[in-house]
């Protein structure tokens, strides 16, 4: 996504000059990984226009692999306009309806890159852009799960993109399929399969054992408790039930810190009204 930002404090209509650049949550992660000396790739769609070429040029300048990026002649590159209303308050406006990024689809994915990567990083922005982009996210996770590639998810919830109810349901589903979930600046979840999970809340780690479930209708096992094994594709990654069907506020009251963290984040989605989204639609994988 391209970025236009005013260079002075005040209403945008009074700005004499604007600064042109690029922005995006996934691309920021890819750039950070490269600066740590690790290889990184970015996949997504940009418009077949000057702004799209600007975004790709910025990523190439940071040595991020963008060979799998798609230039889309059917939609423009998304644009973010940033206005510095006061020294401390910025206002952001987005122009991304029908943008190239919203047209991302499963066939755009470079499955070989995902399989070769150690980590596939996704954010909650991409599935919010539309049905095809959401399908691409789930397709990428399917490929990663089959290859043993770790899946990292950053919620990055933005109220301007989708309703709180829709976001809560989708993000709960994606959290169940991810190995690492960043719920916000102070919450993170690391799932460890049958070893349980670790939730970091306000800098404090909480270890949660894998849950035990009652198996019903199985010969020789009626009424017995067995330890639940991890299965990312079904959202059972060895962590306590993340509430695919439970009301978020019920999750908030759950005794486990892990589900409390997830539930609290989901509950905030139901009433939160925040700034519009920031991020380049797509996925980043590095290996």
Give the percent of the chain with pLDDT over 70: 71
Q: What is the pLDDT of residues 48-62, one digit of tens each?
A: 999 999 999 999 999
Q: Which domains does the chain have, with CATH numbers?
A: 1-133+277-287 (3.40.1190.20), 160-271 (no CATH)
Instruction: Label the pairing between strands 2-6 and 18-22.
Output: antiparallel
Supply the pLDDT for residue 162.
Answer: 86
d(CA 177, CA 122): 11
Give the largest CA-CA distance in the chain. Answer: 77
**44-73: string of b/e by CB count within 10 Å (b at 16+)?**
bbbbbbebbebbbebbeebebbbebbbebe
Supply the pLDDT for residue 21.
Answer: 92
Q: What is the pLDDT of residues 90-136, one digit of tens each?
A: 888 888 888 999 999 999 999 999 999 999 999 999 999 999 999 99
Segment 16-29 mean pLDDT: 90
- Consecutive H or E run containing 205: strand 204-208
* Residue 13: strand pairing partners: none
- Consecutive H or E run containing 269: helix 257-271
Asked if pLDDT for residue 230 goes beyond 70, the answer is: no
The pTM is what? 0.69
Supply the pLDDT for residue 118.
Answer: 92
Supply the pLDDT for residue 193.
Answer: 67
Supply the pLDDT for residue 212.
Answer: 63
Instruction: Label the pairing between strands 45-47 and 70-72.
Output: parallel
d(CA 265, CA 65): 33
Segment 144-154 mean pLDDT: 93
Q: What is the pLDDT of residues 167-191, one digit of tens each?
A: 888 988 998 899 888 876 667 777 6
Q: Residue for token digits 């380049």?
A: 280
Asked if pLDDT for residue 280 goes beyond 80, the answer is: no
Asked if pLDDT for residue 286 goes beyond 60, the answer is: no
d(CA 8, CA 18): 9
Supply the pLDDT for residue 24.
Answer: 87
Please say whether the beta carbons of 147 and 114 come within 8 A. yes
Helix axes 50-61, 25-35, angle to 10 degrees: 30
The C-alpha angle with vertex 36 and arms to 34 and 42, in degrees rounded to 5, equals: 25
């Amino acid at each position: 996504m391209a970025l236009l930002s005013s260079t002075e404090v005040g209403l945008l209509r009074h700005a004499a000059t604007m600064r042109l650049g690029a922005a995006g949550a996934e691309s920021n992660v890819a750039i950070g990984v490269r600066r740590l000396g690790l290889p990184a790739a970015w996949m997504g769609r940009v418009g077949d226009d000057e702004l799209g070429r600007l975004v790709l040029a910025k990523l190439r300048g940071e040595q991020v692999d963008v060979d799998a990026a798609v230039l889309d002649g059917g939609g423009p590159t998304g644009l973010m306009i940033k206005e510095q209303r006061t020294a401390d308050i910025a206002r952001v406006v987005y122009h991304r309806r029908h943008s190239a990024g919203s047209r991302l689809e499963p066939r755009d994915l470079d499955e070989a890159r995902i399989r070769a990567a150690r980590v596939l990083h996704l954010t909650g922005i991409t599935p919010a852009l539309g049905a095809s982009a959401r399908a691409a996210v789930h397709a990428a996770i399917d490929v990663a799960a089959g290859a043993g590639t770790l899946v990292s998810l950053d919620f990055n919830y933005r109220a301007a993109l989708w309703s709180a109810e829709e976001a809560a349901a989708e993000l709960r589903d994606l959290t169940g399929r991810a190995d690492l979930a960043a719920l916000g600046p102070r919450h993170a979840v690391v799932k460890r399969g049958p070893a349980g999970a670790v939730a970091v809340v306000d800098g404090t780690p909480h270890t949660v054992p894998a849950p035990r479930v009652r198996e019903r209708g199985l010969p020789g096992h009626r009424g017995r408790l067995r330890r639940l094994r991890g299965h990312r594709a079904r959202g059972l990654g060895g962590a306590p039930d993340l509430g695919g069907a439970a009301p978020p506020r019920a999750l908030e009251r759950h005794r486990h810190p892990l589900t409390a963290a997830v539930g609290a984040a989901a509950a905030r989605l139901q009433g939160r009204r925040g700034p519009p989204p920031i991020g380049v639609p797509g996925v980043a994988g590095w290996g």
